[in-house]
Amino acid sequence: MAYASRIINHSKKLRNVPNLLRHDHAVLVCCFSNGAQSSVCKSEAAERERVSKFVACYHVSSGLPRNNCSRTTMRLGIPTGGVAYSRELTCSQVQSRRGFASDAGFPPHQEIGMPSLSPTMTEGNIARWLKKEGDKVNPGEVLCEVETDKATVEMECMEEGYLAKIIKGDGSKEIKVGEIIAITVEEEEDIAKFKDYSPSTSDSGAPAAKEPAAPPPKQEPVQQPVSSPEAKSKPSSPPSEDRLFASPLARKMAEDHKVPLSSIKGTGPDGRIVKADIEDYLASRGKDVSAPTPKTKDGKLEALDYVDIPHSQIRKVTASRLLISKQTIPHYYLTVDTCVDKLLDLRSQLNSLLEASGGKRISVNDLVIKAAALALRKVPQCNSSWTDDYTRQYNNVNINVAVQTENGLYVPVIRNADKKGLSSISSEVKQLAQKAKENSLKPEDYEGGTFTVSNLGGPFGIKQFCAIINPPQSGILAVGSAEKRFIPSSGPEQFQFASFMSVTLSCDHRVIDGAIGAEWLKAFKGYIENPESMLL
């Protein structure tokens, strides 16, 4: 807080420096030099020394490691005795990127980067902005909704100010963590100055590129090797086809429409030809860009008709994690059939009592979650995860429940499921499933699970399937549907009906040996076939 206060105070002083310099030179000496004398007849060298002292006082540290900081350059024009000279100075800039008046002449501002809202998040999407450019923002107010790798999370403002510029608008995709998405300023009159503001291509690369122009002379000889004359002569050579820079999509469109790239001027970064350039070129020639000529074979077969659906953030992360799971975890599967007649009878009795008291009904999946949690408490080896140095065995039994939505697959967590009653588990599952469908889950709603249950039997009638382990967990239970079967009775040629449900346990063989997995399924089957024991 002390550093932040000092930065704010000095930033306000810097904005008043030009006005102070227009007045008496002695005022500058008194304000910015502690041991200064009132004489204004100092030499230019002495005056520069005083300014350097002020610069040294203003250079503040954020208290963070240097590799987390970027550097920015400021210029102060100081007229002294009719002679104007400039001095470059650098100040550490923390991750919040509080900027100051730079070479481009921008007033003090803060660059807001894409935050890391979950442990596995490397990039995110902007779902929508709740504030518009020019709006006043206060601490705690929601700026925008960010689509992370797990859910859509609200991003709150940390400081008071005005939203001067939105860099990444609604629907922006694949924004790296730390990449600038907006600019805020302290004063309302500074908003208009950021109308044409555009951040550097890389957060750390652009400021570093300005440093060779700074006073240190050691870097200048390194940047002028023997090959520098060749570099200077390159721009004079006529551009050739293989020297053109274009995005893959732009090259594909150019090939489809037989457009020479040399006839198109790129508007992308560093003159790169992008999709919009090809579209503008074709529009000027009167061609229809949206309907490219379909490829045919011998003029008889038309091309396949298809639609490309962009991947959502949750879909990308799910695909990545499941691929890693199948490639790195040695899966094996154990299947058992459990008789659920007593379970269904108990569920019917409990639901009758709940309906009479105005409560919500209990599902078979709620009973399965409870049985799985109690089996994990009885066989704790299955409530573990693998690391390179040790096996971590959890004391908490937190069950993730797979929920399918239009946006993708979510796994909200029921914490301490072994200690909760059936009514409490049922209520939590319904609430979390609704939040998942609304895409409003928060990190605490899905993080910290130790075991997962996936049920495709009740909702979809799947008889039996094998699920993929959700890392870093070591087990997942796949629950199939219940079906009636003929089973032998006590007498000869006597049969009776019974309902059986197939469940398959996927195990990480590094953590759970075959006998341990079988012991867990035995405990689970005991709770399912004697459900009264779950209530004890």
- 39-48, 365-374, 451-460: range with highest mean pLDDT: 365-374
Q: What is the pTM of this model?
A: 0.55
**pLDDT tens for residues 349-402?**
999 999 999 888 999 999 999 999 999 999 999 999 999 999 999 999 999 999
Token pair of 372, please?
């799985």
Percent of the chain with pLDDT strictly greater than 70: 69
Q: Are 333 and 509 in contact (CB under 8 A)?
A: no
pLDDT at 207 over 60: no
pLDDT band at residue 15 using 50, 70 and 90 as cut-offs: low
Q: Of these residues, 25, 311, 331, 509, which one is catalytic?
A: 509
Q: Does residue 388 have an active-site annotation?
A: no
Q: How many CB atoms lie within 10 A of CB 133?
A: 15
Domain residue limits, the chain: 109-193, 323-535
Active site residue 242: no
| Residue range 469-474: mean pLDDT, rounded | 95
End-to-end CA, the chain: 54
Percent residues over pLDDT 90 in the chain: 36
Q: Which one of 3.40.50.150, 3.40.50.720, 3.30.559.10, 3.40.50.300 gives the CATH number of domain 323-535? A: 3.30.559.10
User: What is the dihedral angle through the alpha carbons of 13, 16, 19, 23, rounded to the nearest 10 degrees?
Assistant: -20
The class level of CATH for 109-193 reads mainly beta
How many angstroms separate the CA atoms of 197 and 520, rounded?
61
Predicted pLDDT at 198: 80
b/e for 416-440, b at 16 or more Cβ within 10 A?
A: ebbebebbebbbbbeebbebbeebe
Question: Who wins on pLDDT, 259 or 180?
Answer: 180
pLDDT 10s digits, 236-284: 344 444 567 788 888 888 888 878 887 788 888 878 888 888 888 888 7
pLDDT tens for residues 302-352? 788 889 988 888 888 889 999 999 999 999 999 999 999 999 999 999 999
Q: Which two tokens stand for residue 126?
A: 């902007």
Higher pLDDT, 405 or 416: 416
Instruction: For residues 273 and 289, give the distance between their C-alpha atoms in angstroms, rounded to a whole number.
Output: 16
Looking at residue 527, what is its pLDDT? 96
Angle between helices 514-529 and 364-378 (to 10 degrees): 130
User: Which residues lie closer than 8 Å to 103 by C-beta, 6 or more apart?
Assistant: 73, 74, 75, 210
Reply yes or no on whether the pLDDT at 473 is more than 90: yes
b/e per residue, 73-104, with b = 16+ CB within 10 A? bbebebebeeeeeeeebebbbbeebbbbbbee
Which of 24, 256, 345, 513 is an active site residue? 513
Position with higher pLDDT, 155 vs 325? 325
